Chain A
C-alpha cells in the first residue's frame, strides 16, 4: 500500500510539475497550429493564417520582413492586383512566412503579428504594419511601444497583446519561419514560392510586377 502510494504520489508530482512548467514557459504556444501544414515543399505550419479560400488551387507563399522596403513596394503595387483577381476570386491563397532579418525590430514585429493572430486579427495587423512602414530601418517605427500602439488602434485586448509580446511567446515561431526560408534557398525579401494544383513550384525573387505573377499563375491553372 505504501509502495503504491509512493508511486502514485510520484506520478502526481511529475504531472503537476509538467503542467506548471507548460504554463510558466514563455515560449509555449497555445495557439492551434496545424503542425502538418505544408504547401509544396514548404512547411507553413508556423506561418500566417491563410488569406483567401483554403481550397484555392494555387498557393502563394510570401517570405517577407516588415521593415523591408521592397516588401512595402510589393504590398502596395503588386498585391492589390493579385488579391482582386486571384485571391478574392478563389483562384489563389496567400501565406506569409517571416524572414525577419533586417534589423532588431524585425523579429519583434513578426512576433507581434502572431500576438494579433491570437485575437484573430493577423491580417489586419499585417496590413497595418505595411501601411505604417517608415523609410528607415530600426528608427523606432516598429519598436515594442509602437507595435502595442498599432494593436491598440485595432481595438485588441491590450492586456493579452502586451503579455504575449513582452513574454516573447512567438519568438521560436518566427525563428522556425526564418529557418524554413533559409532551407528553401530564400536569400532576400520579398521572395515567393508559387505552388500550383499539382504541387509544381515556381520561385519569384523580389518585388516583381503583377504581370509576372499573372503569367506564372495563369500557366498553372
Chain B
C-alpha cells in the first residue's frame, strides 16, 4: 500500500527510471501517507485475523478497509492518470469529485488516519478480551 500510495501521489516514479523525491512543501502529505500506510498495515491484518481465526464479527474490518480506501483515494492526485481517466469518463461530475479529493486531500487523510486509529484501538481492546485465557 505504501509503495502504491507513493506512486499515486508522485513521490516515486517508475519510468523512465525508478526514482523518488519529496518536492518542497509536500513533506506533510508525505508524512501522512507513511502514517496511513503503517496504520493500515497494522489494522487490516488484525481484523483479518479476528475474522479467520476467531470467527468473530466483520464489523471492524469495514472501518479499516474504509479508512484505508478513503486515505488512498485522497492520494490519487487529480493531475495524474487516475484523475484524468475519471474526469475524461465522467465529465463535470468526475471533475468535481476529483477537485474535492484534491482540495481536501490533507483533511481527508487525517480523517482516514483517525478512523484507522479508532479501529486499531477498538480491535486491540476486543482482542484482549477475546484472546484472554480462561482459568480452568
Q: Could you list some 29 contacts between A and B, CB below 8 A?
A: A69-B77, A70-B10, A70-B79, A70-B80, A71-B79, A76-B24, A77-B23, A101-B88, A102-B78, A102-B83, A102-B95, A103-B99, A135-B103, A136-B102, A137-B99, A137-B103, A138-B99, A139-B103, A187-B84, A188-B79, A188-B80, A189-B84, A203-B16, A204-B15, A206-B10, A207-B10, A209-B21, A212-B13, A212-B17
Minimum distance in angstroms from B94 CB to a CB of chain A: 10
Contacting pair B17 A188 (CB below 8 A): no
Contacting pair A187 B85 (CB below 8 A): yes
In the assembled complex, which residues on chain B have CB atoms less than 8 Å from the CB atom of A207? 10, 23
Q: For chain A, what secondary structure do more than half of its interface residues adopt (helix, strand, loop), or is it mixed? A: loop
In the assembled complex, which residues on chain A have CB atoms less than 8 Å from the CB atom of B17? 212, 215
Contacting pair B99 A187 (CB below 8 A): no
Closest to B99 in A: A137
Contacting pair B81 A188 (CB below 8 A): yes
**Which of A70, A77, A203 interacts with B77 by CB under 8 Å?**
A70
In the assembled complex, which residues on chain A have CB atoms less than 8 Å from the CB atom of B85? 187
Q: Nearest 9 A-B pairs (CB), nearest first?
A: A68-B79, A137-B99, A73-B23, A209-B21, A136-B103, A187-B81, A70-B79, A188-B80, A188-B84
Known: A71-B79, A101-B84, A102-B87. A137 touches B19 (CB 8 A): no
Question: Is A41 an interface residue when CB atoms closer than 8 A count as contact?
Answer: no
Closest to B80 in A: A188
Residues 20-34 of chain B, each 1 if its beta carbon lies under 8 Å from chain A, else 0: 010111100000000
Contacting pair B24 A102 (CB below 8 A): no
